[in-house]
Amino acid sequence: MTKQFVTTTVNGDTAEFICEPGESLLDALRGRLQLTGSKEGCGSGDCGACTILLDGEMVCSCLVFAAEAEGRVIETVEGMADGSVLHPVQRKFLEHAALQCGFCTPGFLVATKALLDHNPDPSEHEIRYWLAGNLCRCTGYDKIVRAVQDTAREMRNERKTA
C-alpha cells in the first residue's frame, strides 16, 4: 500500500512525516517524530497513557490513524513545559508524588490540563470521572486527585492576582 505523506502541527511547530496508512498517530509521534512522551499502555483505548489533544480535544492517540492528522493541530505532553519551567500540573504532580513508575503520567498530565482548561474548579467527583480513561497501576489515584485539586487551586489564585 502507498505510504502517506502527512503535514501537521505539533506543539505549535509544523511537522511532516511519512507513515504507513494503517499506522497509529501514537506510533508516528513516537517513531517518526521522536516524541516519546506519549506512551502505549494498551493500544486499545483503555489506559489513556497515549492521551494527546487533537484540535483541542483530548483523544487516545493509539486510536487515531496517523494519516488523519493531516492539517490538524496536535498537542502532546512535550509541549506543556515552557522551556525548563514546568507547567503547574507537572510541578504539582512532582510535589504530591502523584507518580511512581511514571508510565501513566504523560497521559494524566495532558488530561488534567484539558480538564482545568474546561473547568477551573472541578469537584473531586468531576475529577475522578474526567480521569476515568486514565489508568494508573501504582499510585492508587488518591495522590493524583490531590495533585489535580492543588493545581486547580493554584491556577485559580494566579488568575485572580493576574
Contacts of 77 (CB under 8 A, 6+ apart): 37, 38, 52, 106, 107, 109, 110
| Residues 15-74 contacting ligand FAD, CB under 6 A | 44-46
Of the pair 131, 136, the CB lying nearest ligand FES is at 136
Dump strand ranges (E) for 20-132. 51-54, 57-60, 73-75
CB 46 → ligand FAD: shortest distance, Å?
A: 5
Is 140 a residue that touches ligand FAD (CB under 6 A)?
no
- Put the strands of the sheet holding 4-10 in their side by side order: 13-19, 4-10, 73-75, 51-54, 57-60
The site map against other proteins for 94-113 (x = CB under 8 A) is: -----------------x--
Taking CB under 6 A as the criterion, the residue among 68, 138, 145, 154 binding ligand FES is 138
Under the binding rule (CB under 8 A), the answer on residue 144 touching other proteins is no
Cell readout for 70 is 493531516
Instruction: Provide the CB-side half-sphere exposure for 64 (13 A, CA).
Output: 23
Applying CB under 8 A, does 20 fall inside the site for other proteins? yes
* Contact window for other proteins (CB under 8 A) among 28-36, 50-58, 75-83, 86-94: 50-58
Q: Which three cell numbers stand for residue 65?
A: 490513524
By CB under 8 A, tell whether 132 contacts other proteins. Answer: yes
